[in-house]
Amino acid sequence: MSVLKVLEKMTQEFEVAGSRSPRRDAELILSCALNCEPTELYGSKSSSCVDVLTPVQSLKIQKLSERRQRGESIAYILGYRDFYKSRFLVGPGVLVPRPETEHILEWSVEFYPVEKPLRILDLGCGSGCIGLSLLKEFSKSQLSAVDISQEALFYAKKNAGVLNLKDRVTWFLGSAQQFAEIHSGTQGFDLIVANPPYIDPMDPDVEPGVRLFEPSEALFSGDGGLEAIKEFSLSALSLLAPGGYFLMEIGGGQRLMLESWLRNQWREEIEVSFLKDYSGYHRICVVSWASQRGKGIEVSHG
């Protein structure tokens, strides 16, 4: 069978299976199996892809296709996910980076001078996509990366090596609370970032493939999804230096509940604002000490 016929067939199969991007998934899997760029699938003269598949190639493609049809992330199948300006290795046991998380990077780069030496803390670092991306932008900074998952830290350390950043990272295996207890009373961090698990386990809108294949401890949290958010907030604010900022990704409908809880905990001691994602949801919570009020941060309160 020709490459283009296989491409059409896979696209139809992925669409039936519920993929949100069936054509792109088919292109990525085919190009991965044939060791070429997706654009080369369409028969340019410089193409390194074959016109007709061999039995061995067909079998490899079939196996990869079946994994995608079962709902496994295309990132796990390929072994990587592009995030912000870099490529991050991922696999079972580590959360797949999402585009909405890039808002943390966009805000940080816009607000802080890139030459500023920052002490950065990444709580629940996962693949390292947030913290390591920050290190690439802020070349004079140091990162402490924390995660409770051995598998996640395995990938984060691999990514730090690939990006030539491992000499600027300190790793910690444990919870945000454990890290905060150990570092209580030490010099605070200038920038703390976090993408905690914030999905209610009973949420019916979670894709079956996400629920089945991605690590539940990185996705789901009790108390309507707020349990880990509260733990991360308590830990982060105990470590936040004067003049520093804590940026945390949250669920699309959690803004009001989180802001109320934060106000009850710290009253007028903190300044709380929110950044919207491209869909209009309040996606990133920005917290600083109230002494920072009036610094001219342009974020949404609405």
Domain ranges, ordered by start, for the chain: 3-70, 95-292
Q: Domain 95-292: state its class.
A: alpha beta
What pTM, to 2 d.p., does this model score?
0.91
Q: Identify the bridge partners of residue 282 per DSSP, sorted by sequence position.
A: 276
pLDDT digit string (tens) for 1-55? 788 889 999 999 999 998 989 999 999 999 988 888 888 888 654 445 667 788 8
Grade residue 87 by pLDDT with cuts at 50, 70 and 90.
very high
pLDDT in the model for residue 166: 95
In whole angstroms, what separates CA 281 from the centre of its chain?
A: 17
Give Cβ neighbours of residue 264 (< 8 Å, ≥ 6 apart): none
Q: What are the helix and strand counts (H, E) for the chain?
A: 11, 9
Q: Which amino acid is at 60?
A: K
Pick the CATH number of 3-70 from 3.60.15.10, 3.40.50.10140, 1.10.150.120, 1.10.8.10: 1.10.8.10
Tens of pLDDT along 238-262?
A: 999 999 999 999 998 899 999 999 9
- pLDDT of 294 higher than 50: no
- Residue 69, pLDDT score: 94
Contacts 24+ apart (CB under 8 A), 290-293: 291/242, 291/243, 292/243, 292/245
